[in-house]
């Protein structure tokens, strides 16, 4: 009986409390809901503004680069571009070009009026500031005094493939040179590189005008691309 | 009994409860209003930073560019080749600036017996002449090149005199 009495009292109390505080329920739930919405949804969104802005900025920049690339590609003179590319790849080939290097040596010798005594391909690489570029290294002995050897170096510096004389030594009648002929495999062209294409800058224009004055006969770029494509890393196209 | 019938006193007890309720209602209204305003603000900011439109434009540009793939590849390769050629041209040893200048100083009166230009840009030179005056002139001109910064340190490592071959000077020249 005692238990029943307690139950009755509790029900009464509960009913009383519900009646008493019913009016608080709706505003309290609204307040809690607003607070929960603020904490769970709005605060993370507000904190994400910075990263969203960065993403939007980078995408806008990417779009701008792509539009510049498109304008450049449309306005480019394809014939001149092919000719310049052909010249540049003659001067810095993508692969080892033994024949071109030997031609380089013999042409420079002829133009400098020196006689090639001997030449030999070196299998060791030389330590230079340009070590990031692979090279073919030749040891060349010429019958030439120091002045003629300097003339030979001047000439070989204006030939394709591009070369660097690492060491030179000799006497009044002959000289020995260690010559590195540089090459560099092509980097693959993808969407990222498409964004990176830009109009030739001042330094690149200067280099182009310098190498154009070297009087180098170039192969047709179309033939070049198709023949290089057959080799590993020979062409990016 | 007095308490039970005095309605004024009962109303006084309800006043704080009504005020409390009004406050809670006002607070909930304000909270909902603020959350609403903030939600609109967040929506507008998200709309402002939306990348959907930009990505669509990128796709359109890429589609146009796809018909110029060959040209794009050529431009990219040409520019990177020219950059590389420029680096090599700037970093490779330039003999015309120093070694050639030194050799030109010898002229006809001074003969170069031996020379060696190593990878550390040191020029070892052995020169000879029948006249000490000519050797002296050569050395003075070499020191002028040093003064104007064309070459670095000049060290004389040997001086020999031979009645048959004249005078011989050995030098070490550090080029720039």
Bridge partners of B170, per DSSP, are B126, B158
- Considering only CB atoms, A31 lies closest to which of B24, B70, B89, namely B24
The answer, yes or no, to whether residue B117 has pLDDT greater than 60, is yes
Q: Check B73 against A76: CB less than 8 A apart.
A: no
- Considering only CB atoms, B117 lies closest to which of A126, A167, A208, namely A167
The answer, yes or no, to whether residue B76 has pLDDT greater than 70, is yes
Average pLDDT, chain B: 85
The answer, yes or no, to whether residue A157 has pLDDT greater than 90, is yes
Q: Out of A7-16, A193-202, B59-68, B95-104, pick the least confident.
A: A7-16
Annotated domain spans of chain A: 98-182
For the segment B133-159, the average pLDDT, to the nearest whole number, is: 88
Cis check: omega of the bond before B145, within 30 degrees of 0? no
Choose from B71, B100, B125 for mutation: most chain A CBs within 10 A. Answer: B71
Q: Are A94 and A186 in contact (CB under 8 A)?
A: yes
For the segment A78-104, the average pLDDT, to the nearest whole number, is: 91
Cα–Cα distances (Å) from A210 to A78, B62, B70, B82, in that order, read 21, 34, 26, 11
Quick one: what percent of chain A has pLDDT higher than 70?
A: 85
Q: Check B81 against A88: CB less than 8 A apart.
A: yes
At B164, is the pLDDT very low, low, confident or very high (cuts 50, 70, 90)? Answer: confident
Planar angle of CA B67, B71, B77, nearest 5 degrees: 135
Which residues in chain B touch residue A37, judged by CB atoms under 8 angstroms apart? Answer: 35, 39
Q: Check A30 against B116: CB less than 8 A apart.
A: no
The answer, yes or no, to whether residue A234 has pLDDT greater than 60, is no
Cα–Cα distances (Å) from B166 to B11, B114, B134, B137, in that order, read 133, 15, 11, 16
Query: Judging by DSSP bridges, how do beta strands A175-182 and A163-171 pair with one another?
Result: antiparallel
> Between residues A93 and B106, which one has the greater pLDDT?
A93
For the segment B151-167, the average pLDDT, to the nearest whole number, is: 85
The answer, yes or no, to whether residue A107 has pLDDT greater than 50, is yes
What is the architecture, at CATH level 2, of domain A98-182? Answer: 2-Layer Sandwich (3.30)
d(CA A199, CA B78): 11
Choose the most confident range, by mean pLDDT, from A146-150, A215-219, A221-225, B95-99: A146-150
Q: Out of A46-55, A82-91, B163-172, pick the least confident.
A: B163-172
CA of B147 vs chain A CAs: smallest distance (Å): 23
Q: Check B38 against A38: CB less than 8 A apart.
A: yes
For the segment A86-99, the average pLDDT, to the nearest whole number, is: 91
Which residues in chain A touch residue B24, judged by CB atoms under 8 angstroms apart? Answer: 24, 27-28, 31
Quick one: what percent of chain A has pLDDT higher than 90?
A: 49
Exposure of B102 by Cβ count < 10 A (0-12 exposed, 13-18 middle, 19+ buried)?
buried
Enter the tokens of residue B123: 């020029």
At A230, is the pLDDT very low, low, confident or very high (cuts 50, 70, 90)? Answer: very low
Q: How much is the pLDDT for A20? A: 77
d(CA B96, CA B117): 13
At A129, is the pLDDT very low, low, confident or very high (cuts 50, 70, 90)? Answer: low
> Between residues A227 and B139, which one has the greater pLDDT?
B139
Which segments of chain B does DSSP mark as H helices, in order?
2-5, 7-48, 52-66, 69-91, 99-106, 132-147
Choose from B44, B62, B73 for mutation: most chain A CBs within 10 A. Answer: B73
d(CA A179, CA A121): 10
Q: How much is the pLDDT for A223? A: 38
Q: Which one-letter DSSP state was computed for residue A189?
A: P
Q: Is B149 helix (H, G, I), strand (E, B) or coil?
A: coil
d(CA A136, CA A154): 19
Annotated domain spans of chain B: 2-50, 53-91, 99-175
Planar angle of CA A55, A57, A61, nearest 5 degrees: 115
DSSP per-residue string spanning A107-171 = HHHHHHT-EEEEEEEESSPP--TTTTS-EEEEEEEEE--HHHHHHHHHHHTTSSS-EEEEEEEEE
Enter the tokens of residue B176: 């720039």
The answer, yes or no, to whether residue A229 has pLDDT greater than 60, is no
For the segment A210-221, the average pLDDT, to the nearest whole number, is: 75
Query: Judging by DSSP bridges, how do beta strands B151-162 and B111-117 pair with one another?
Result: unpaired
CA of B68 vs chain A CAs: smallest distance (Å): 6
The answer, yes or no, to whether residue A116 has pLDDT greater than 90, is yes
For the segment B6-35, the average pLDDT, to the nearest whole number, is: 76
What is the architecture, at CATH level 2, of domain B99-175? Answer: 2-Layer Sandwich (3.30)
Render pLDDT for A175-206 as a digit per residue (tens, 0 to 9): 999 999 999 998 887 777 777 788 889 999 99
- Considering only CB atoms, A88 lies closest to which of B21, B58, B85, namely B85
Q: Check A66 against B79: CB less than 8 A apart.
A: no
DSSP per-residue string spanning A65-80 = HHHHHHHHHHHS-HHH
d(CA A42, CA B39): 7
The answer, yes or no, to whether residue A225 has pLDDT greater than 50, is no
At B11, is the pLDDT very low, low, confident or very high (cuts 50, 70, 90)? Answer: low
Render pLDDT for A17-74 as a digit per residue (tens, 0 to 9): 888 788 888 888 999 999 999 999 999 999 999 999 999 999 999 999 889 888 999 9
Whether this model's ipTM surpasses 0.85 comes out as no
User: Which residues lie below 8 Å from residue B126, measured CB to CB, with a gap of 6+?
Assistant: B112, B113, B114, B115, B168, B169, B170, B171
Phi, psi of B132 (to 5 degrees): -65, -35
């Amino acid at each position: 009986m005692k238990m029943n009495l307690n139950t009755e009292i509790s029900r009464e109390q509960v009913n009383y409390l519900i009646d008493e505080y019913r009016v608080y329920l709706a505003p309290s739930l609204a307040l809690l809901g607003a607070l929960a919405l603020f904490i769970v949804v709005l605060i993370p969104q507000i904190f994400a503004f910075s990263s969203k802005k960065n993403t939007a900025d980078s995408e806008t920049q990417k779009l701008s680069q792509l539009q510049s690339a498109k304008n450049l590609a449309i306005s480019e003179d394809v014939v001149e571009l092919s000719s310049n590319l052909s010249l540049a790849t003659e001067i810095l080939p993508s692969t080892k070009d033994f024949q071109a290097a030997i031609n380089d040596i013999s042409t420079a010798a002829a133009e400098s009026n020196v006689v090639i005594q001997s030449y030999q391909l070196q299998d060791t690489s030389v330590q230079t500031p340009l070590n990031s570029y692979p090279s073919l290294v030749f040891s060349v002995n010429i019958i030439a005094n120091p002045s003629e050897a300097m003339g030979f170096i001047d000439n070989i510096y204006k030939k394709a493939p591009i070369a660097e004389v690492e060491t030179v030594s000799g006497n009044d009648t002959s000289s020995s040179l260690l010559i590195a002929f540089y090459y560099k495999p092509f980097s693959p062209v993808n969407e990222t590189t498409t964004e990176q294409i830009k109009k030739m800058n001042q330094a690149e224009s200067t280099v182009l005008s310098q190498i154009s004055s070297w009087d180098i006969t170039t192969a047709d770029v179309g033939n070049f691309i198709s023949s290089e494509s057959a080799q590993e890393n020979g062409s990016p196209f | 009994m007095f308490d039970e019938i005095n309605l004024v006193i009962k109303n006084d007890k309800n006043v704080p409860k009504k005020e409390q309720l009004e406050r809670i209602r006002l607070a909930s209204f304000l909270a909902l209003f603020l959350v609403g305003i903030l939600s609109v603000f967040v929506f507008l900011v998200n709309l402002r930073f939306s990348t959907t439109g930009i990505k669509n434009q990128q796709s359109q540009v890429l589609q146009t560019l796809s018909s110029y793939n060959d040209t794009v590849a050529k431009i990219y390769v040409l520019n990177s080749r020219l950059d590389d050629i420029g680096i090599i041209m700037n970093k490779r040893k330039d003999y015309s600036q120093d070694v050639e200048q030194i050799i030109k100083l010898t002229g006809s009166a001074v003969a170069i017996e031996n020379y060696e230009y190593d990878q550390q840009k040191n020029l070892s030179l052995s020169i000879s002449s029948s006249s000490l005056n000519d050797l002296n002139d050569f050395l003075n001109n070499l020191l002028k090149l040093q003064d104007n910064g064309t070459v670095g340190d000049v060290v004389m490592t040997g001086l020999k005199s031979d009645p048959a071959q004249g005078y011989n000077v050995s030098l070490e020249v550090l080029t720039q």
